Chain A
Amino acid sequence: MKRKPRPVLRNSGDEQRQFTRRAWFSLALIMLALVGLGVRFFWLQVVRHDEFVTRANDNSIHVRFLSPPRGMIFDRNGVVLAENVPAFRLEVVPDQVHDMPAMLKSLATVVPLSSDDLRRFHQALKEQRSFQSVPLRNRLSEDEIARFAINRWRFPGVEIAPYLRRYYPQGALTASVVGYVGSIDQREAEKLQGTPYADMSQIGKSGIEREYEKLLRGVPGYELVEVNADQRPLRVLERVPPRPGENLYLTLDMHLQNAAYTGLRGRAGAAVAVDPRNGQVLALASSPSYDPNLFVGGISEANYKALLDDPHHPLLNRVTDGTYLPGSTVKPFEAVAGLELGLRTPQYTVDSVGEWHIPGLPGARGYRDDVPGGVGVVDLAQAIEMSVNTYFYKLAYDMGIDRLSAFMAKFGFGQPSGIDLPHEASGVLPSRAWKQKTLHRPWYLGDTVISGIGQGYWQVTPLQLANALSTLADFGQPQRLHLLLATQDGNDAPIKPVVVPPPGPPVIAHRADWQAVMQGMVKVVEGARGTARGLDVGFPYRIAGKTGTAEIFSRTSHAWHNDRTNQELALRHRALFIGFTPASDPRVAGVAVLERAAWGGRDAAPIVRDMFDAWARLRHLPDTPLPGDTLPAWAPLSLPAGTASSAPVPPAVDLPHASSVLNRARAAPTVSMSP
């Protein structure tokens, strides 16, 4: 169909009216739309203003935490036990790294990266935000710093950052007291959510470092930093400086600590020295030990495995957590109980015939003395001197288990001493209730008898022994054993002593009772038949002591054990010694425990003597001055060479065979009979 071109017929009036209508209609719509836009502005800028202000600030203001320097730890004389040393580490800002695996690979050719470094790095990478720097490799050597500096241009986003690293100059020597810091683990991190710890990576894991974490850590500061969209900091808006942690002065005296630790010579055991007048712990050594510096910044898997797999368990603090049969070391305490309860007088005698039977049961099992045939008639002092079992079988039997355990509890047995360390074993104080509860069996008379010589169910920690000894030495006055001597809030601040009140009333009512027991203990060292005779040779004060040799294995046959070589006995015995000096005015009390050694007097006692020697060389100690009082905080001390620097862990002795080469200048007591 052909279409005719339409003539242009226009009705310009209609067109214009139509246009005008539509134009004004459009304008109305336009005004509506623009008003709508204006309302949207109002909605964003007035109604939701606060919300967007917050979000704008979140965008541009970052909080940067400033870690406080951790408080230092000193011994009582100001010898540094824990300090902070400047170190350098590699840090990575993940955002600025394009190809992380490739970067790590080529970086490893410049600075060695161990698998532990990489494991920790990847762990931290997951937990942190991508614009925060993540530590990759701690403790760069100067050589490594130099090598990285040359190659730095190849690694955008990797930087060398200074930080403060915890350092324990005494190393293994004080590890059992000071403990160590380590990386905050997942569980600790969850507990710390929302606390000022949020940005701190190290936390006290054991020892004093953990016990006084709150004092040591200080208060983190922060900076409000304005950043741009690339997270680059532009300027500091507000700065709250961190408050350094408090410095701690410990009651420890490095002279005694060194004597204790070196005296143990790497053998499995523990040694403690306390001042009985106030409960201050002068030495606390567990052996074998470990280098706490390994843990700082995270221990490597290989090192940790080596420590865990070590058959001598170096990580176990034997002073607080090792539990041992106390053996004859409980005898002086039982003697006190017998006297105080009116069951014995110092003159009361018992005839030791080699075997003791519960009265009325003559045909039953006999309880043995250490010497076949016994030692004859002995009084209290002689019973302690020669550690006569029969005397104490009978005493325990006469006292009964209830009175015995009640009195022993006053000396702190069976309960933690309350020392300021994070963990402590309770040990076992034998009692009817304990046996019923733990073994669900009734108490037998025989249990009472062997409890009298520290065998049976007894378990004590060396610290409990020291606690009981301290109470005994201070004429029955218990003291709370403690390690914290004083605190100092900042390096220039005054040193504030810590006051530790005694936990309870005196245990011994009559000084005569104390005198009698003390005289018995002096005879242990001085008497012709004392189990540690000769221990005081060359020592300026009188020493009161008591040996203990506990059998690890129970007897399997009725036969007397005749192989009395030290090597053979060392496999079967724990050697213990407790002692204090000066005997009539005690100022230091020492405990030594060896897990595998022949005799308490021969093997454990010299360790205590070592500590006493160290004590005797110190003129200032009897007056227990506070650090800074008579000595400058950094007093150079006449420590034996090699101990002031980080002490290497002495090789753990396999078995105390090595004790046969014991070669002491002092006369070692030749033991004929014990314990």
Chain B
Amino acid sequence: MNSVALRIEIFLRRLLTRPRLDLPLLIALLLLAGMGLFFLASAADLAWHTIGAQAARLVLGFMLLSVVSRIPPAQFRRWSPALYVFSILLLILVLVLGEGRGADRWLNLGIVRFQPSELLKLTTPMMAAWYLAQRPLPPSWRDLGVVLLLIALPAGLIAKQPDLGTALLVVAAGAFVLFLSGLSLRRMGLILGFVLLMLPVAWHFMHDYQRERVLTLFNPESDPLGTGWHVIQSEIAVGSGGVFGKGFMRGTQAQLQFLPEHTTDFIYAVVGEEFGLIGALLLLALYLFIIGRSLWIAVNARDTYARLLSGALAMSFFVYVMVNGGMITGLLPVVGVPLPLVSYGGTSAVSLLAGFGMLMSIHAHRKFMK
């Protein structure tokens, strides 16, 4: 008992005295979080409880980041199977007694409500990396099959919630592990071909609103007041922003409620409307830096597990940005993917920052440079 308390004390002391943080990445993240709060303040019409709640989550997230950064990668590796199983159990729990808006994604823990599916975005690549790190690479057919199963299980459960967007992101995170493990291009091609063949089957199992969203992508004007509404209003918001934007809280699309979900999934459109091309590209540049820095950390990681995990996290981060950006500019279908660290929403920000905590840790335990 005493020893546990002592160890925690030592841990906390080290956290403060010798933080293991990558300064460029941390600054970029803080900058992003700060800009995110600023954009949210405008999008939420200066609703202080919204901004305050988001700020509190970000503070929590950064605290979690620094705590996680103190945990050596070897520990994550050891915990990976347990965390994976634990998060899968949570998913099952959600399916049994979940609550949420339209879709059952939320787990109410009394004070905090959170989406277990967010957790899987981390634990799935962790599990895949854990499995592959013990195997010779590139992975054999057998290992490939095991990893695909490890990915398919959570993805299937999340898709059943139904949350197709998150399911695809989980699949992507796992797939990046496979890609970075050196899976031969031929095998990747075979898998992709198989997936393409399965698409009509997937279509069959899709919910109507999911089908509509995909269809709407191809012709948003076909139903301007139905599902096309989101895409059209988002494009109008972005396009009407021009180069310099309409100014803080001056976006008519966002402020007059033409833009749906303008504090969450469509906040990037608010940025485009109120801060113009300059704001949008600035944000894009910041994301690019964070992704690049994360990949650089991955390349310099000490072992296979750390490499695979950090690389997959970096690329997942890109996918969030791309899917959200593509959605609000009408390039990709409307899937409920928040803009990382900018959209209002707790679980996403906290789990993302926890992920960056792991990256920091991996960076701190990088191989020795020659």
**Interface residues in B, total, Cβ within 8 A:** 52
Interface secondary structure of A, over-half rule: helix
Using Cβ atoms and an 8 Å threshold, which residues of chain A touch B137? Answer: 10, 15, 18
Using Cβ atoms and an 8 Å threshold, which residues of chain B touch A18? Answer: 137-138, 182
Using Cβ atoms and an 8 Å threshold, which residues of chain A touch B299? Answer: 19-20, 23-24
Given A15-B304, A56-B252, are A42 and B277 also a contact pair (CB < 8 Å)?
yes
B346 touches A (CB below 8 Å): no
Contact A19 B138 (CB under 8 A): no
Using Cβ atoms and an 8 Å threshold, which residues of chain A touch B295? Answer: 23-24, 26-27
Contact A52 B179 (CB under 8 A): no
Q: How far is the CA of A31 from the CA of B241 in the complex (A)?
A: 24
Q: Which of B233, B257, B277 contacts A45 (CB 8 A)?
A: B277
B229: nearest chain-A partner, CB-CB? A229
B287 touches A (CB below 8 Å): yes
Using Cβ atoms and an 8 Å threshold, which residues of chain A touch B181? Answer: 19
A635 touches B (CB below 8 Å): no
Q: Which of B179, B311, B321, B329 contacts A34 (CB 8 A)?
A: B321
Contact B257 A37 (CB under 8 A): no
Using Cβ atoms and an 8 Å threshold, which residues of chain A touch B100? Answer: none
Contact A45 B298 (CB under 8 A): no
Contact A45 B258 (CB under 8 A): no
Tell me, rounded to whole Å, the shortest Cβ–Cβ distance linking B12 to chain A. 34
Tell me, rounded to whole Å, the shortest Cβ–Cβ distance linking A9 to chain B. 6
Given A33-B318, A34-B321, A230-B257, are A8 and B291 also a contact pair (CB < 8 Å)?
no
Contact B288 A34 (CB under 8 A): yes
Contact B134 A8 (CB under 8 A): yes
A308 touches B (CB below 8 Å): no
Contact A52 B284 (CB under 8 A): no
- Of the candidates A15, A20, A53, A226, the one having the most CB atoms from chain B within 10 angstroms of its own CB is A15
Q: How far is the CA of A49 from the CA of B298 in the complex (A)?
A: 40
Q: Which of A19, A59, A227, A230 contacts B182 (CB 8 A)?
A: A19
Q: Which of A225-281 contact B (CB under 8 A)?
A: 226-230, 234
A662 touches B (CB below 8 Å): no
Q: When each residue 117-136 of chain B gets 1 if its CB lies under 8 Å from chain A and 0 otherwise, what string results?
A: 00000000000000000111
Using Cβ atoms and an 8 Å threshold, which residues of chain A touch B330? Answer: 44
Q: When each residue 159-182 of chain A gets 1 if its CB lies under 8 Å from chain B and 0 otherwise, what string results?
A: 000000000000000000000000
Q: How far is the CA of A12 from the CA of B304 in the complex (A)?
A: 8
Given A22-B180, A40-B329, are A16 and B284 also a contact pair (CB < 8 Å)?
no
A60 touches B (CB below 8 Å): yes
A30 touches B (CB below 8 Å): yes
Contact B136 A19 (CB under 8 A): no
Q: How far is the CA of A226 from the CA of B252 in the complex (A)?
A: 9
Q: When each residue 572-602 of chain A gets 1 if its CB lies under 8 Å from chain B and 0 otherwise, what string results?
A: 0000000000000000000000000000000
B326 touches A (CB below 8 Å): yes
A190 touches B (CB below 8 Å): no
Contact B272 A41 (CB under 8 A): yes
Q: How far is the CA of A51 from the CA of B242 in the complex (A)?
A: 11
Contact A53 B180 (CB under 8 A): no
A510 touches B (CB below 8 Å): no
B81 touches A (CB below 8 Å): no
Contact A30 B288 (CB under 8 A): yes
Contact A227 B256 (CB under 8 A): yes
Contact B318 A45 (CB under 8 A): no
Q: Which of B135, B240, B291, B322 contacts A52 (CB 8 A)?
A: B240
Using Cβ atoms and an 8 Å threshold, which residues of chain B touch A230? Answer: 257
Tell me, rounded to whole Å, the shortest Cβ–Cβ distance linking B203 to chain A. 25
Using Cβ atoms and an 8 Å threshold, which residues of chain B touch A437? Answer: none
Contact B252 A34 (CB under 8 A): no
Using Cβ atoms and an 8 Å threshold, which residues of chain A touch B176? Answer: 26
Q: How far is the CA of A391 from the CA of B326 in the complex (A)?
A: 102
Enumerate chain A interface residues (CB-CB to B < 8 A): 6, 8-10, 12, 15-16, 18-20, 22-24, 26-27, 30-31, 33-34, 37-38, 40-42, 44-46, 48-49, 51-53, 55-57, 59-60, 226-230, 234
List the 7 closest pairs (A to B, CB-CB), nearest first: A52-B239, A56-B240, A18-B182, A229-B257, A228-B256, A44-B239, A52-B240
What 17 additional pairs, Cβ within 8 angstroms, besides A24-B295, A40-B325, A55-B236?
A15-B137, A15-B304, A16-B307, A33-B322, A34-B318, A38-B280, A40-B331, A41-B280, A44-B238, A44-B239, A45-B239, A45-B280, A52-B235, A55-B239, A57-B252, A60-B252, A229-B257
Enumerate chain B interface residues (CB-CB to A < 8 A): 134-138, 140, 176, 179-182, 233, 235-243, 252-253, 256-258, 272, 276-277, 280-281, 284, 287-288, 291-292, 295, 298-299, 304, 307-308, 311, 315, 318, 321-322, 325-326, 329-331
Q: Could you write out 27 A-B pairs with CB less than 8 Å apart? A: A6-B136, A10-B136, A10-B304, A15-B182, A19-B182, A19-B308, A20-B299, A22-B179, A22-B180, A26-B176, A26-B179, A27-B295, A34-B288, A34-B321, A37-B325, A38-B280, A38-B284, A40-B325, A42-B277, A44-B330, A45-B241, A45-B276, A46-B243, A49-B240, A53-B239, A60-B252, A228-B256
